[in-house]
Amino acid sequence: MNPILVALDVDTTAQALAAAHTVRGHVGGLKIGKQLFTSEGPTLVRELAARGDRVFLDLKYHDIPNTVAGAVRAATALGVWMVNVHASGGLKMMQAARQAAEQAAGHQGQRPLVIAVTVLTSLDEAALASVGVSRSVAEQVGALAAMAQDAGLDGVVASPHEIGVIRARCGATFQIVTPGIRSGPAIAGDDQARTLSAAEAMTAGATYLVIGRPILRASDPARAAEEIAASLLKAEG
């Protein structure tokens, strides 16, 4: 499978459908986050899933276990391919998320992948310390990834800089979804703190790459996606 997941960080259904049409066939899936979901809601998710798109619903659920379980059941009913929670919600919350996905899928089909966010890619060690986390970023990511694996989750979201730590603790088959993919000059307004290029992240051991602005802000998004995919094949070779 093509590992590129395009972040549809746009405001409207029309913009999202246009972007999806442009990159469809050039990427492996589409990510819908808080901006688009808040604007347009679940109808768009259903529509893209019905068209056969792999939809990663990136809402980062973080609440008591029962509430998160209900949200994951609802996401599963939308037909999403992947859904995420915050690992900092704890072991029981993550276990509840996994169980809810399995129960909602039932005999009707395969459950979505359930993954956990470790440390946001916008945070550095000073930011972690400011909220009372005394571990380094790498230590915190490793601990949360191990907890997610213990909870039965399929993988984690983590910056490309922590892939090696996760692989060492969780093994080769644990899935790692990596945002913070950048190349070339800085993008205005970018708040990502821990980044690598797509090829560097895949070489480090990422499973999937979440890429938004470098593709959608390109003059030719389909070509930009193709060029990134080609760079991954070149890195593998």
Max alpha carbon distance in the chain (Å)? 48
Q: How far, CA to CA in Å, does 175 sit from each of 60, 143, 154, 202, 227?
A: 16, 16, 6, 12, 24
Q: What ranges make up the beta strands (E) of the chain? A: 4-7, 29-32, 55-61, 82-86, 113-117, 155-157, 175-178, 208-211
Other C-beta atoms within 10 Å of 205: how many? 16
Dihedral in degrees, nearest 10, Cα atoms 233, 210, 171, 70: -150
User: How far apart (Å, rounded) are the C-alpha atoms in residues 208 and 175?
Assistant: 8
- Asked if 34 is an active-site residue, the reply is no
Contact 60, 37 (CB under 8 A): no
From 31, 34, 60, 234, active-site residue: 60
Helix, strand, coil % in the chain, rounded to nearest 5 = 50, 15, 35
Dihedral in degrees, nearest 10, Cα atoms 85, 152, 57, 66: -50
Buried (b) or exposed (e) across 153-184, using 16+ Cβ within 10 A? bbbbbbbbbbbebbbeebeeebbbbbbbbbee
User: How far apart (Å, rounded) are the C-alpha atoms in residues 201 and 187?
Assistant: 19
Catalytic positions: 60
